[in-house]
A and B are shown apart, each in its own frame.
Chain A
Amino acid sequence: MIVPNAKLVKDVLNKESLEQGSTRDGFGRGVIEAGKKDDRVVLLCADLAESTRSHWFKEEFPSRYIEIGVAEQNLATVASGIANYGKIPFITSYAAFSPGRNNEQIRTTISLPNLPVKICGMHAGVSVGPDGATHQQLEDIALMRVQPNMTVVYPADVEEARKATVAAAKYDGPVYLRFSRSKTPIFTTADSPFEIGKANLLYESEKAEVAIIATGPLTYKALCAASGLSDEISVSVLNLHTIKPLDEGAVLKVVKDAGAVVTVEEHQVAGGMGSAVAEFLAKNYPVPIEFIGMQDQFGQSGEPEELVEYYEMGENSIKEAVRRVAKRK
């Protein structure tokens, strides 16, 4: 059953009743909110104002909006300088370019000196659909989570994206925020708890047999899969919006209860959230794990939903993974 404390949208499992939204919109609203609360917040944009929703901030705070042009290495290094001076810069681009292209600059000039630059990677995963493989960033969680000092957050819907953006402005040090382009169900509410580093249990079953640990918008599909399996296998679902630092306590609790895990993410299975969970469990509580995500391949053009299904990251694939892992116990 849905965890009451998660304060999800009413009738959350009724897919047709849910509003849809893109997490980038949550960012756009959140960064304005952060800007109102703290005048040190500035936004640096690399020629993608509208598609990153940076133009909303520009309208609200024109003097705190800085245009960089098509130069993602400069985006990261100018942001390092402006953070070094004392501002809180949010830098926006497609995740394919930032942190895709400017990885070394992020490492040397942001992570190593531990500066509060908030790196906002848009259009991550296959959510950018028709643009094809060049723009479908599927390795960014891996790139960012291996850098010491870096925090990695991947919101599950628009509302959580807004909260994550506001929270990132107040959070010490560098943060990577991952956002999607396609519209996905809005299933959390303004009252749903959100704190960087604290995973949220969304769905629980008495004597759960499998724990699904999900991150990003696919979390809703995990929720539907858990509910759909309720007559067959009892499942719990943890929303691991913060991939680093890992909420070890929350992960350990659901895994100890269930004894088997399925991880769900729109990212390469190598190096992503599933890997982070597996690294922790291998040392502390080894159990069978199945990994939903891109299986060491690049994407292609297509509609986002179509791609999610084709690459076996949809609701049915999650159910299949739950069945497989339950048998491995």
Chain B
Amino acid sequence: MSTIDDKKACELDAKAVEIRETLIEMLVAAGSGHTAGPLGMADIFTAFYFHILNHDPKNPDWEERDRLILSNGHITPIRYSAMAHAGYFSIEEAKTLRQFGSRMQGHPEREKLPGVETTSGPLGSGLSEAAGIAYGARMDGKKFRVYCLMCDAEHQAGNLWEGAMFAGNNKLSNITAVIDRNNIQINGMTEEIMPLEPLADKYRAFNWHVIEVDGHNISEFINAVEESKAIFEKPTVIIAHTIPGKGIKEIEFDYKWHGKPPKKEEADKFLRELRTLGGTIECYDQE
């Protein structure tokens, strides 16, 4: 049974398209940055900012807010886009991505932009930071949840497994971690560069509850997050199987799009493609 109805699901799907459109416009304006990973996480960021998070865009430092930690800082453009749509700042400001003087740093900085929670970029550290926040919050009996988004390839870093061990050992059930399992990294496919499988078994061995979902099915993802809140004995990790570049056929599954932005002409084509996705979200269009 789903925790959201079909109408809500359609609304969220439509919101994800808007967030992808803004992302493409941001990347073109910036002239550098990552494309595939951010597109692949658009649905999950939509789920967070428009349904899951207990947050207040006008008061980003609200003490009781849920914390959303982004460990793989390089996909921050999609977060900026989602935050802009959620009302943290204007979409115009989001489009200043990577420009001199902008709060939209190439990799997110906590001191510059309230709401991003941590400074990240170098991979493998976010889960430990999330665990530190969760540990401190539990000491004080705080009720908020700590979410930590990670990419799959950063599971090649030792620091990450130190964090996984710490959170598992301390039964930090106030953490829900999410892995963007898109199978690509800069040099190629993760299973060819340095295999991660069996990833779920590894987490189970570290005392984690594991759920695997389709990372583009927003209802399924929200259900998994709800399930994680009911697990009190251990932290939960959701392995979200995603398609890198999701939403734009030419980019999907192509690791060459990991670290480059679209050119202006390409972007025009991609935006047309995104805007004709109407067929897939019919119920929303009929409203």
Interface residues of B (CB under 8 A from A): 109-111, 117-122, 124-125, 128-137, 139, 158-159, 162-163, 165-166
- With A73-B125, A108-B122, A113-B109 as known contacts, state yes or no: A80 contacts B132, CB within 8 Å: yes
What are the residues of chain A within 8 A of B131 when measuring CB–CB?
Answer: 78, 81
Residue-by-residue, is A251-273 near B (CB-CB < 8 Å gives 1, otherwise 0)?
00000000000000000000000
Answer yes or no: A109 CB below 8 A from chain B CBs: yes
CA distance A114 to B130 in the complex (A): 17
Q: B110's contact among A68, A82, A113, by CB below 8 Å, is which?
A: A113
Asked whether, in the complex, the Cβ of B128 is within 8 Å of the Cβ of A85, the reply is: no
A-B contact count (CB 8 A): 95
User: Contact string, A75-98, partner B, CB cutoff 8 A, digits 1/0?
Assistant: 001111111111101000000000
Using A71-B162, A77-B125, A78-B129 as known contacts, say yes or no to A109 and B118 having CB atoms under 8 A apart: yes
Contacts of A38 in B (CB 8 A): none
Chain B residue nearest to A86 (CB atoms) is: B136
Distance in angstroms from B8 CB to nearest chain A CB is 32
Could you tell me if A69 and B165 are in contact, using CB atoms closer than 8 angstroms?
Answer: yes
CB distance from B124 to the nearest CB of A (A): 8
Q: Is A63 an interface residue (CB 8 A)?
A: yes
A12 to B80, CA, bound (A): 61
Q: Report which of B117, B119, B133, B158 forms a contact with A73, defined as CB distance below 8 A.
A: B158
Residue of A74, A82, A109, A114 with most partner-chain B CB within 10 A = A74
Chain B residues positioned under 8 Å from A80 (CB to CB)? 118, 125, 128-129, 132
Interchain residue pairs A-B with the least CB separation, the first 8: A81-B132, A77-B128, A74-B162, A85-B136, A81-B129, A82-B132, A71-B162, A78-B132
* Interface residues, chain A, with chain B CB atoms under 8 Å away: 42, 63-64, 66, 68-69, 71, 73-74, 77-87, 89, 104-105, 108-109, 112-114
Q: Which residues of B contact A105 (CB under 8 A)?
A: 122, 125, 159
Task: Evaluate contact between B133 and A84: CB separation under 8 angstroms.
Answer: yes
- Contacts A73-B158, A109-B129; is A81 near B135 (CB within 8 Å)? yes
CB nearest neighbor in B for A114 = B111
A84, B122: Cβ atoms closer than 8 Å:
no
B154 to chain A, nearest CB (A): 13
Residue ID in chain A nearest B159 by CB atoms:
A73
Contacts of A78 in B (CB 8 A): 128-129, 131-132, 135, 163, 166
Nearest chain-A residue to B119 (Cβ)? A113
Q: A113 to B111, Cβ gap below 8 A? A: yes
- A111 and chain B: residue at smallest CB distance: B119
- Other A-B pairs beyond A63-B139, A77-B132, A85-B132, 16, CB < 8 Å: A66-B135, A69-B166, A71-B162, A73-B158, A74-B165, A77-B159, A78-B128, A79-B132, A80-B129, A81-B118, A81-B134, A81-B135, A85-B136, A108-B119, A109-B118, A113-B118
Closest residue on chain A to residue B127 by CB atoms = A77
Beta-carbon contact of B121 and A108 below 8 Å: yes
